[in-house]
C-alpha cells in the first residue's frame, strides 16, 4: 500500500491536514482556556497568563500558535498587545467542541461537577426568558466576570459585580426582584458562586444558562467597546 503516489492523494492529504491544523490548535487545554477567555473580548497577554495560571512566556507561545493558525488576531496599544478571536466562526467552533464533549465524552459530567460543584439546587434561566423579562423591570442582571471582560462588552443593562465586590453589594441589591447572574458560558464558575451566595443571604437569584458570547452570538442587545479600527494586525 504505497503512499505519496498520485498528486491527487497528496493534495487531499494537505487539504485535510489544513483542516486538522485548526483542531490541533484547540487540542491543548491551556489554549482552550485562552479561547474561552478571548470569546469574552480582547485581553492583553499578562492578563491571560494570570487567568490560565501559566508563565507569561508559555502563554505568549500559546498565543502565537493560535495566531499562526488564524484563530486569533492581535493589536498593539502602546506597550500592551491585545489578543482577540479573529471572528465569530471561532466562537461557534468553540461552542461546537463543548457541545460534543458534553454529549459524548463519558467523564465530562464528573469533571464539570468537580469544578463547578453540585448545580442541582441552582435555578437557571434561558437567554429568551431573560430577554423577555429584562424590559419589564422585575429583573436585575449582574455580570460576575472579571471587570476587564465587562468593559470589553456585556449584556445591555447589566451591572458589573465581581465575586469580591458581591459581599459589599448585598445591602444595595433589591430584595423584591429576581437577580440574574451570568458569566463566560455554561461551564463558568463565577455565576454559580454568585447565585449560591445570594441565595444564602435570602435573595431570589438565578443563573443565565449560558454566557455573554452566546447572548451576543444570538443577536441579543449588548453594550460593547467599539473596536478601534485601523490598529488591527490580522494573522
Partner DNA sequence: CGAGTATTCAACTATCTACTTGAATACGGC
Partner DNA sequence: GCCGTATTCAAGTAGATAGTTGAATACTCG
Residues that bind a copy of itself (CB under 8 A): 1, 3, 8-9, 11-24, 26-33, 36, 53-55, 69-71, 86-87, 89-90, 92-93, 96-101, 103-108, 111-112, 114-115, 187, 189, 235
d(CA 51, CA 83): 14
**Residue 112 vs 173, nearer CB to a copy of itself:** 112
If one asks whether residue 46 binds DNA (CB under 7 A), the answer comes out as: yes
| Residue 200 interacting entry, from DNA, a copy of itself, none, C-beta within 5 to 8 Å by type | none
Report the half-sphere exposure of 107 (CA within 13 A, side-chain side).
3
Please, what is the Cα angle at 152 between 64 and 76, to 5 degrees? Answer: 40
**Residue 85 vs 140, nearer CB to a copy of itself:** 85
d(CA 15, CA 69): 14
188 is known as an active-site residue: no
If one asks whether residue 75 binds DNA (CB under 7 A), the answer comes out as: no
**Residue 106 vs 121, nearer CB to a copy of itself:** 106
Exactly one of 34, 37, 38, 45 binds DNA (CB under 7 A); that residue is: 45
Q: What are the backbone dihedrals phi and psi of residue 154, each rounded to the nearest 5 degrees, phi first?
A: -155, 170
Given 66, 125, 183, 195, which residue is catalytic?
183
**Residue 97 vs 122, nearer CB to a copy of itself:** 97
d(CA 190, CA 198): 12
Report the half-sphere exposure of 172 (CA within 13 A, side-chain side).
9
Report the half-sphere exposure of 232 (CA within 13 A, side-chain side).
15
Q: Report the SS3 class of residue 209.
A: coil
Using CB under 7 A as the criterion, which residues of the chain lie in contact with DNA when the complex forms?
A: 3, 24, 27-31, 44-47, 54-58, 60-65, 74, 76, 78-82
Q: Annotated active-site positions, please?
A: 183
Amino acid at each position: 500500500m504505497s503512499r505519496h503516489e498520485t498528486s491527487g492523494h497528496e493534495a487531499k492529504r494537505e487539504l485535510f491536514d489544513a483542516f486538522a491544523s485548526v483542531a490541533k490548535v484547540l487540542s491543548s487545554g491551556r489554549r482552550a482556556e485562552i479561547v474561552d477567555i478571548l470569546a469574552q473580548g480582547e485581553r492583553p497577554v499578562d492578563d491571560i497568563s494570570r487567568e490560565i495560571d501559566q508563565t507569561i512566556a508559555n502563554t505568549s507561545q500559546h498565543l502565537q500558535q493560535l495566531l499562526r493558525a488564524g484563530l486569533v488576531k492581535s493589536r498593539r496599544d502602546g506597550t500592551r498587545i491585545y489578543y482577540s478571536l479573529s471572528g465569530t466562526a471561532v466562537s461557534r467552533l468553540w461552542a461546537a467542541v463543548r457541545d460534543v464533549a458534553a454529549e459524548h465524552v463519558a467523564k465530562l459530567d464528573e469533571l464539570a461537577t468537580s469544578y463547578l460543584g453540585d448545580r442541582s439546587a441552582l435555578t437557571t434561566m434561558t437567554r429568551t426568558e431573560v430577554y423577555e423579562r429584562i424590559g419589564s423591570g422585575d429583573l436585575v442582571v449582574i455580570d460576575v466576570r472579571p471587570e476587564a471582560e465587562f468593559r470589553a462588552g456585556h449584556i445591555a443593562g447589566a451591572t458589573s459585580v465581581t465575586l469580591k465586590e458581591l459581599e459589599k453589594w448585598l445591602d444595595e441589591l433589591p430584595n423584591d426582584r429576581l437577580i440574574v447572574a451570568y458569566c463566560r458560558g455554561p461551564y463558568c464558575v463565577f455565576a454559580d458562586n454568585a447565585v449560591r451566595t445570594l441565595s444564602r443571604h435570602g435573595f431570589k437569584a438565578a443563573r443565565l444558562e449560558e454566557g455573554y458570547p452566546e447572548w451576543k452570538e444570538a443577536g441579543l442587545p449588548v453594550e460593547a467597546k467599539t473596536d478601534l479600527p485601523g490598529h488591527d494586525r490580522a494573522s
